[in-house]
Amino acid sequence: MNEKIVLSTPTMHGDEMKFVQEAFDKNWIAPLGFNCDNFEKETSEYLTEGKEECHALSMVSGTSALHLAIKLAGVKRGDIVLCSDMTFAATVNPVSYEGGVQVFVDEEEDTWNMDPKALEKAFIKYPQAKVVVLAHLYGTPAKMDEILDICNKHGAILIEDAAEALSATYKDRKCGLFGKYNAISFNGNKIITSSGGGMLLTDSKQARDKAFFWATQAREQAPWYQHQEIGYNYRMSNVVAGIGRGQLLHIEEHRDKKEKIYRRYEQGLKDLPVKMNPYLDYTKPNFWLSCLTINKGVDKNPMDLMKFLADANIETRPIWKPMHMQPVFSNNDFISVKEKSVGEDIFARGLCLPSDIKMTDEQQDFVIEQIKKFFN
Ligand SMILES: *Cc1c(COP(=O)(O)O)cnc(C)c1O
């Protein structure tokens, strides 16, 4: 049997160890510290290239960053929040942490992200909505100009979930800079990883300071432990931040390798009745995961393809099952401009392919061969 071909795993380079070693040498094994400070600075410099203001807060996870983004946006019990529908549950769960109510907005075929037309329709039904949470799926940027126009028109705050989209650009500006409050993730399978962790990003220093306050147990300035608000223990560890700093040095290299994988699938699968996950030509995805959809009307099922590839020791993953199809959100509203939900359709026809940057050309050729075998 061939060695297992995996979906996406961490790729370390050695630089990570240097920063971790420094934390050990200085015995700075705690949350906060020089690696956290530098990781924040280096990440915001990487994102903005010094062209705009971006204050970063390193945190235990992308989910915790999204949670504080929801708090900063002022979501209170019963508030409607318009959310991406086809995404990982972590995009939308934090709305519930604050007692908000998610209304899910359908995807579009061009990017697999939130459809601006469906968002406009959602605002007509819910004019009181003041917050939008948008995820860039699989590292493909959404239609930011259109989405931001609609948010501005309705006086709504945009929260960007760029957990999968670090290094992706929309019209030469990086994902994670478009919303008022944004989150990125360094979870184990993301384009770069700190083993686990995330960051909150905002152009407001005041907002960053408030999030820091919440993330460090909401301690008021007093000689004793004084609390006026509920706090959280959400800070990243200085050791973990060291891994992240080492990884950040290699992010462009990771992106280029991910793109190469996508291009090889595109080329290798071009004669089959499938399409790769689409993107707009004025955007640069990070190609975090290469995905395919089986063409409409073709009598083949992605779950059968998944099983077929698993038998050849190849790991794949279903497309994120849309949130409006999840039992936990069965009482939440869903807005679409199509007769059949685009998200449901992509979910029914799609599959995520092995996109690990350590995959060799030979291994990828084997995957392509197996997919061809499935169709013939
Ligand atoms: C991974 C991911 C998250 C959560 O990030 P964690 O760091 O794992 O908490 C949120 N949203 C999306 C779209 C993700 O893929």
* pLDDT tens, residue by residue, 341-354: 999 999 999 999 99
Q: Is the CB of 355 under 6 A from ligand 1?
A: no
Classify residue 367 as exposed, middle or buried by CB count within 10 Å of its CB (0-12, 13-18, 19+).
buried
- The encoded tokens of residue 314 equal 């190849």
Residue 217, by phi and psi: left (phi above 0), alpha (psi -120 to 50) or beta?
Answer: left
Q: 1 pLDDT exceeds 90?
A: no
Do 107 and 115 form a contact (C-beta atoms < 8 A)?
A: yes
Cβ neighbour number for residue 299 with a 10 Å cutoff: 6
Q: Residue 121 is which amino acid?
A: K
Q: Which pLDDT belongs to residue 344?
A: 97
Q: Is 323 left (phi over 0), alpha (psi -120 to 50) or beta?
A: alpha
Q: How far is the CA of 376 from the centre of ligand 1 (A)?
A: 36
98 forms bridges with which residues in the sheet? none
Does any ligand 1 atom lie closer than 6 A to the CB of residue 246?
Answer: no
Distance 50 CA to ligand 1 centre (A): 26
Query: Domains in the chain, please, with CATH?
Result: 15-248 (3.40.640.10), 251-375 (3.90.1150.10)
Q: Indicate the top mutation candidate among 61, 63, 87, 102 to test ligand 1's pocket, ranked by most ligand atoms within 8 A of CB.
A: 63
pTM above 0.85, yes or no: yes
Dihedrals phi, psi of 217, to nearest 5 degrees: 70, 15
Rounded Cα gap, residues 230 and 370, in angstroms: 53
Beta bridge partners of residue 283, listed in sequence order: 170
Is 175 close to ligand 1, i.e. is its CB under 6 Å away? no
Ligand 1 close to Cβ of residue 63 (< 6 A)? yes
Which of 307, 320, 324 lies closest to 350 in space, CA to CA?
320
Are the C-beta atoms of 171 and 156 separated by less than 8 Å?
no
Each residue's pLDDT tens digit, 227-281: 999 999 999 999 999 999 999 999 999 999 999 999 999 999 999 999 999 999 9
Q: How far is the CA of 61 from the centre of ligand 1 (A)?
A: 8
| pLDDT value, residue 31 | 84
With tokens 């998610």, the residue in question is 102
> 93 is written with which tokens?
């769960």
Contact 90, 66 (CB under 8 A): yes
CA neighbours closer than 13 Å in the CB half-sphere of residue 176: 32
Say if residue 78's pLDDT is above 90.
Answer: yes
- Ligand 1 centroid, distance to 374 Cα (angstroms): 32
Query: 3-class SS at 252?
Result: helix
| Direct distance between the N- and C-terminal alpha carbons of the chain, in angstroms, rounded to an integer | 22
Query: What is the C-alpha separation between 94 and 75, in angstroms, rounded?
Result: 10
- State whether the beta carbon of 198 lies less than 6 angstroms from ligand 1: yes
The DSSP symbol for 288 reads S
197 phi and psi angles, rounded to 5 deg: 155, 175
Strand partners, 173: 170
Report residue 89 as tokens: 């549950």
Q: Which of 92, 182, 185 to mutate to test the pocket of ligand 1 (most atoms within 8 A of CB)?
A: 185
- Pick the residue whose CA is nearest to atom 11 on ligand 1: 91
For residue 135, is pLDDT > 90? yes
Please indicate whether residue 90, judged by its CB atom, sits closer than 6 Å to ligand 1.
Answer: yes
Mean pLDDT for the chain overall: 97
Q: Does residue 118 have its Cβ closer than 6 Å to ligand 1?
A: no
Ligand 1 centre from 269 Cα, in Å?
29
Q: Which ligand 1 atom lies nearest to the CA of residue 198?
A: 7
Instruction: Name which residue sits closest to atom 6 of ligand 1, judged by CA.
Output: 62
Segment (H or E) for 320: none
Q: What six digits make up the tokens of 17?
A: 């160890």
Check pocket membership of 140 for ligand 1, CB cut-off 6 A: no
Q: What dihedral angle (degrees, nearest 10) is formed by the CA atoms of 49, 50, 53, 57?
A: 70
Distance 221 CA to ligand 1 centre (A): 33
pLDDT, tens digit, 9 for 90 and up, residues 184-237: 999 999 999 999 999 999 999 999 999 999 999 999 999 999 999 999 999 999
Q: Measure Cα distances from 358 to 168, 228, 345 in Å.
A: 20, 49, 31
Tokens 């306050």 — which residue? 213
How many angstroms from the chain centroid is the CA of residue 346?
A: 18
> Torsion over CA of 266, 269, 272 and 277, rounded to 10 degrees?
-40
Closest by CA position to 274, among listed 308, 298, 304: 298
**In which band, very low, low, confident or very high, does the pLDDT at 324 lie, cut at 50, 70 and 90?**
very high
Q: Is the CB of 352 under 6 A from ligand 1?
A: no
Would the CB of 193 count as within 6 Å of ligand 1? no
**187 in ligand 1 pocket by Cβ < 6 Å?**
yes
Per-residue pLDDT, averaged over 108-113, amounts to: 98
Which residue CA neighbors atom 14 of ligand 1 most closely? Answer: 163
Residue 30: pLDDT band by 50, 70, 90 thresholds? confident
Ligand 1 and 242: CB distance under 6 A = no
